A = this chain, B = another copy of it.
Amino acid sequence: MAENLWTTDPREALRAHPGFTLASMDRRATPGWGGDKAQGKAFMDSRASLLSELQERLFAEGRVGGKRSVLVVVQGLDTAGKGGMVRHVMGYVDPQGVSLASFGVPTEEERQHHYLWRIENKLPTPGRIGVFDRSHYEDVLVVRVDELIEESVWSERYDEINEWEKQLVESGTTILKFALMVSHEEQGIRLMERLDRPDKRWKYSTGDLDTRAKWHAFQEAYQAVFDRTSTEHAPWYVLPADRKWFSRLALTEILTRTLVEMEIGWPSVRWSPEVQRRNLAKSMSTASLVESYEDTPAVVTEAMEETLEVRRDSADLLDADPDASEQRIAARRAEWLTDLEETLAHKRELLAARDDAPALTADIPGIGSKTKKAAKSKKSKKGKKKSKK
């Protein structure tokens, strides 16, 4: 298990509090993290299974009528690492539960609408995580720097955005806003790399230098964004981005902690597993019912261990009283095991009613302790729970 070397909650260490000054931020710093790059990567990867399960729970909640969603806004200048960040986050969760949207120069149609129109069209539906590569903030960043519209218009937008985001939060969307702030020096080196690598030249645009020339104006525009739109309901997190591993670690951790605090459980169902199992069994041969029966303990205990591990990680993050949370985990384990005993008893009953059923042992080894299959799977999994999907 990788060591948790966060010395301060990154939501605290990286938040744009009132008085935050972008100009004095060290873009190579790693605020809140007490480890090095290798430790950071290892710890980030150790979040994979937690993040993956929380996202699946959110998705499940949305499927049964839940209203909550999460919106991750990623802003930053060229080469800050927005694209890599999006790919990175998507790698930890099921892409089918993510709404990905990228906002470039508005199209003709988009220009004919209010600037929030195209954003609203791409908001995550309940149960989903929306990931925005650029966002409505372009309408107070590039629009302001390039003087695309009058100041009297864009200067009204900060309050309008705050109000709009507030309504979004009230309707169930948790908003996380991340600004990846690369230094002027590092941007130069990264642009040079695009010029030097024949396989990356297609990413370079001659307009990139024009934007770079407006560096200071963009810094001012970002400062204004932080001053005016880092609200209680939708704060900004400003991530130093000269070290990509750190900005990824920080976003991963903030997203994880946010999902943990949402306390998302598995939805309960409105039908009876017993009734459904009996009906399903009617369509199954005795051989496959036996196979299913024999697999049950390993399959269920493996899932139980994963769920309990997520609970334990979550409790750690919530700084819960360790004894109390161990008690809760033990209670949850007992519930799963009772459920499993009922499942097995029910399957034995279904099999007993068949003439061609073989003799079954009443107890299957492994219940209540890790079975061989579950233990093996633990070791090999890397967070993406692909094995049984």
Q: Which residues of B contact A358 (CB under 8 A)?
A: none
A side interface size, CB within 8 A: 74
Shortest CB-to-CB span from A333 to chain B, Å, is: 12
| Cα–Cα, bound, A254→B81 (Å) | 32
Of A3-11, A218-226, A270-278, A318-326, the one touching chain B: A270-278
Q: Is A133 in the interface zone, CB < 8 Å from B?
A: yes
Assuming the contacts A303-B200, A307-B199, asked whether A389 and B81 have C-beta atoms less than 8 A apart, the reply is yes
Beta-carbon contact of A283 and B212 below 8 Å: yes
Partner of A188, one of B81, B90, B292: B292
Which residues of chain A (74-126) have a CB below 8 Å from chain B? 81, 83-84, 86-88, 90-91, 94-96, 98, 100, 102
Assuming the contacts A90-B95, A185-B284, A283-B209, asked whether A84 and B266 have C-beta atoms less than 8 A apart, the reply is no
Beta-carbon contact of B60 and A193 below 8 Å: no
Assuming the contacts A96-B86, A386-B87, asked whether A284 and B188 have C-beta atoms less than 8 A apart, the reply is yes
Which residues of chain A (273-313) have a CB below 8 Å from chain B? 273, 276-277, 279-281, 283-285, 287-289, 291-292, 295-296, 299-300, 303, 306-307
Stoichiometry, copies per complex:
2
Q: Is A29 in the interface zone, CB < 8 Å from B?
A: no
Which residues of chain A (60-84) have a CB below 8 Å from chain B? 60, 63-64, 81, 83-84
Q: Is A379 in the interface zone, CB < 8 Å from B?
A: no
Q: Which residues of B contact A384 (CB under 8 A)?
A: 87, 91
Beta-carbon contact of B91 and A100 below 8 Å: no
Q: Which residues of B contact A87 (CB under 8 A)?
A: 94-96, 384, 386, 389
Partner of A193, one of B63, B213, B287, B292: B292
| Cα–Cα, bound, A198→B300 (Å) | 8
Q: Which residues of B contact A285 (CB under 8 A)?
A: 185, 188
Q: Which residues of B contact A388 (CB under 8 A)?
A: 193
| Cα–Cα, bound, A343→B194 (Å) | 12
Beta-carbon contact of A292 and B192 below 8 Å: yes
Partner of A206, one of B90, B192, B276: B276
Beta-carbon contact of B191 and A88 below 8 Å: no
| Cα–Cα, bound, A375→B244 (Å) | 21
Q: Is A23 in the interface zone, CB < 8 Å from B?
A: no
Beta-carbon contact of B96 and A199 below 8 Å: no
Which residues of chain A (248-282) have a CB below 8 Å from chain B? 266-267, 269, 271, 273, 276-277, 279-281
| Cα–Cα, bound, A206→B188 (Å) | 58
On A, residues with C-beta under 8 Å from B are 60, 63-64, 81, 83-84, 86-88, 90-91, 94-96, 98, 100, 102, 133, 184-186, 188-189, 191-193, 195-204, 206, 209, 212-213, 244, 266-267, 269, 271, 273, 276-277, 279-281, 283-285, 287-289, 291-292, 295-296, 299-300, 303, 306-307, 336, 339-340, 343, 384, 386, 388-389
21 A-B Cβ contacts within 8 A?
Answer: A60-B203, A86-B96, A87-B94, A87-B384, A87-B386, A90-B90, A91-B91, A91-B384, A188-B283, A192-B289, A192-B292, A193-B299, A195-B343, A196-B343, A197-B300, A197-B303, A198-B303, A198-B339, A199-B303, A202-B269, A209-B279
